[in-house]
Structure 1
Amino acid sequence: MWILLIINFEILLACRGRYCQLVMGPAGSGKSTYCQTLMQHCEAAKRRVHLVNLDPAAERFEYPPTIDIRDLITLEDVMEELGYGPNGGLIYCFEFLMENLDWLEEQLGDYEDDYLILDCPGQIELYTHIPIMKQVARLLQQWNFQVVGVYCLESQFIEDTSKYFAGVMSATSAMSMLEIPHINVMTKMDLLSEEIRDNMDRYFDPDPLLLAEDANKSTSKRFKELNMALANLIDEFSMVSFLPLNIKDEDSVAYILSHADNAIQWGEDQEPKEPVDELEGPSED
C-alpha cells in the first residue's frame, strides 16, 4: 500500500504545472522592458511570477532576477580572460551553461508550481541558426516546463517596409528553429503617435503582398523579385502575426499575457480558490 501511495505521489508531482516564457528578440527590441512590465502587472494581480536572467551580459534589472546566469558565468569575465569578442563570448557562455546543466536544473528545481519569465540575450543568431536556445527549450520541456516563445520586435520597424520584412523573417526563423508555441509582440507602441498607431492594423496581421508592393517603391529593381518571393513565403505559411504592446496600457499587457497563458494552457491544473471578501475581517478561530 505504501509503495502505491509513493508512486501516486510521484506521478502527482510530475503532473504539477511548470510554465515559462522564453523572451527573445533583437538587441534593443524591448525584451527587458517587456519582462519588467509583465512582472509589475503580475505583482499587482497577486500572481506568483519569477524573473530568470539568461543574459550573461546584462547589467541591471528593475526586478532582481530570482535565477541569474551571471552567478555561473558572465560575458565580461569571458572577454577579459579568454580575449573573445561579444558574440563569440556569448556563445562560449551558453556552451559553458550546457556543460553545467546540473546548475541550471538545481536552480529551476525549486519552482514546481510557479511561472517563470526567462529574459534572453539580444543576439538573434542564438534563435535563428545556432541551436543553443533550441537545446535550452528542449531541456525545459524535459524538465516538465510548458514553454512559450515570446519574440519581441520594436514598432519602429514599420517606419521602413523593407526593415519590417527583415523583422518578420527573423521572427519566422526563430519560430521554425525552436519549434515551441510562439507569439510575436510588437513593442514600444507607446512611443508612436496616435495617428500612426491608428493605421497599424496591417502590420499586426500582415498582408505580405501589399507590403511587398510598398517595399518595391523604394527598392532597387533587381531586388523586386526577391521581395515578392519573401512575401509569397510569408503569405503561404501564414505563420506571422503581432500583438501590440503598450506598456502604459494595462489592457494591452493583460491581453498579451492571456495569449501566452493560452499557448501553454496555464491555469488548467490550478486548484480553484475560495473568493476572499475584502470587507470581512480575519477569522477568529
Structure 2
Amino acid sequence: MMILCLRSLCFPVLAGFRFINLELLIFQVCWLNKVSGLVINEFLVIFLYVAIIIGTAGSGKTALTHALSLYLEEKGEDFCILNLDPGVKDDSLPYTPDINVRDFVRVEDVMSYYDLGPNGAFIASMDLVLNHVEDLREQINDFSPDILLIDTPGQMEIFAYRPTGSILLNRLLDFPDIRKALVFIFDPFLCQVSPGTLLSTLLLAESVYWRFELPMVHVLSKIDLFESEIIDEIINLAKNPSKILVSEETFAIKHTEKSPLISTLLEKDEILRKELIPASSITGDGIFDIYSNLLNAWSETG
C-alpha cells in the first residue's frame, strides 16, 4: 500500500486536507493518529490550482504575477509561471517564466514573416499559439506544479473576446481535475477619471466573467501611486456600484433614465458587487488578501 506523507501545502478553507498537484489522483492514505494510535484511512484528491491574471493593457498584470510569485516563494509553495503573451519582450519581464509561449511564437517574427502590422501580427500570433498547446501542456506536466500562475497577453480584447482565447485555455488546462480562477485587475488610472470609466471597467469585468465563466477575484492595482482618499473613493463606489449613477449630477441626469438595465445590474448583480481588493505589486500590500480570495474562488469550482 502506498504511504503518502502529508505535505506542507494544505488549504484550511477547504473541507479536510486538499493536496495540490497536476493530475486527478485518489490515494488511500494511511497514517498513525498520534492521539488514539489508530490508523486512519482517507481519500485525498490532488488538484492543479490555476490563477489566470487578466486586465486591460497597462493595468499591471505582469507586475501582479511577479508579486504573487514572490509571495508563493516566500511561503514555500510549489508553483510555476506561464507567460502567455507572445508580444512581451523577454528582458522586460520582472520574473523568469518557467513556461514561455515565446519559445514557440514571437509577435516580431510573425510580423516579419507574414508582413503584418503590430495588431494583425498579435492576432495571428495568438492563433498560431494553438499549434503549440501540446508543447505547453507537456511543460506543465514536466513541472507538475501545485499552483500555476498564467500571465495573459497585454491586449486583453484579443485574448478575452476572440474565439482563440477561450479555446486556448480550454485545451491548455484540460486536465482530469483542476481548479481555475480569474484575477481581474482594475487600473486606478482609469477608475479615477470619472464615474463612467469606473462603470465601464466594472462592466468589462462582468463581460470577461461571462466569457470564461470562472470564479473571479477583483483587484485594484497600483495603490501606492495614489492618495488614500482616491483609493477609498474607488473602493466605496465599487462596493456600492448603484451609487455610481448618482455620484455626479450630470452623469446621473445623462444616463440613469436611459439605462434602466444598467441600474438594475448595479443594484443586484453579484459579479459587479464583488469585493475590490486594493493592492500594490511594489509594496506587497494586498497580496495576502488576493491569495486568500483565490483560495475561496478555487473552492467554488469544486
User: Normalising by structure 2, what TM-score?
Assistant: 0.76
Q: Is the 8 A contact 1:87 1:123 kept in 2?
A: no
Gap regions ≥5 residues in structure 1: 2-8, 269-285
Structure 1 or 2: more strand by fraction: 2
**Identity level (%):** 24
- Tell me the SS of whatever aligns to 2:88: coil
The change in CA–CA distance for 1:27 and 1:36 in structure 2 (over 3 A counts) is same
Q: What is residue 246 of structure 2 aligned with on the other side?
A: 213
Q: What is residue 4 of structure 1 aligned with on the other side?
A: none
Q: Is the 8 A contact 2:78 2:147 kept in 1?
A: yes
Q: Is the 8 A contact 2:277 2:290 kept in 1?
A: yes
Q: Is the 8 A contact 1:162 1:215 kept in 2?
A: no
Q: What is residue 180 of structure 2 aligned with on the other side?
A: 147
The change in CA–CA distance for 1:224 and 1:10 in structure 2 (over 3 A counts) is closer
Equivalences for 1:66-145 in 2 at 5 Å?
A: 66-126=98-158, 128-143=160-175, 144-145=177-178
Q: What is residue 57 of structure 1 aligned with on the other side?
A: 87
The match for 1:259 among 280, 293, 298 is 293
1:205-255 CA deviation, whole Å, 9 max, x = no partner?
A: 2x233201235525884x554455423223332212221113355451101
Gap regions ≥5 residues in structure 2: 2-22, 28-43
Equivalences for 1:216-255 in 2 at 5 Å?
A: 217-218=250-251, 221=254, 223-240=255-272, 241=274, 242-250=276-284, 252-255=286-289
The change in CA–CA distance for 1:172 and 1:190 in structure 2 (over 3 A counts) is same
Distance apart, 1:72 and its partner CA: 0.3
User: Residues of 2 paired with 1:163 and 1:145: CA distance?
Assistant: 35
The change in CA–CA distance for 1:218 and 1:233 in structure 2 (over 3 A counts) is closer
Residue identity matched to 1:261 = L
Residue identity matched to 2:101 = I
- Tell me the SS of whatever aligns to 1:73: coil
Distance apart, 1:51 and its partner CA: 1.3
Point out which structure has higher relative CO (alpha carbons under 8 A, 6+ apart): 1
The change in CA–CA distance for 1:169 and 1:209 in structure 2 (over 3 A counts) is same
Distance apart, 1:197 and its partner CA: 3.1
User: Normalising by structure 1, what TM-score?
Assistant: 0.80
1:83-128 CA deviation, whole Å, 9 max, x = no partner?
A: 2233322221221121332212212112334211110012222354
Equivalences for 1:163-178 in 2 at 5 Å?
A: 163-178=197-212
Q: Is the 8 A contact 2:242 2:266 kept in 1?
A: no
User: Residues of 2 paired with 1:30 and 1:20: CA distance?
Assistant: 18
Q: Is the 8 A contact 2:56 2:156 kept in 1?
A: yes
The answer to whether the aligner puts 1:182 opposite 2:216 as a matched pair is yes
Q: Kindly report the root-mean-square deviation, in angstroms, between the aligned alpha carbons of the 2 structures.
A: 2.8
Q: Which moved more, 1:10-19 or 1:251-260?
A: 10-19
The change in CA–CA distance for 1:76 and 1:246 in structure 2 (over 3 A counts) is same
Structure 1 or 2: more helix by fraction: 1
Q: Is the 8 A contact 1:18 1:114 kept in 2?
A: yes
Alignment coverage as a number of residue pairs: 258
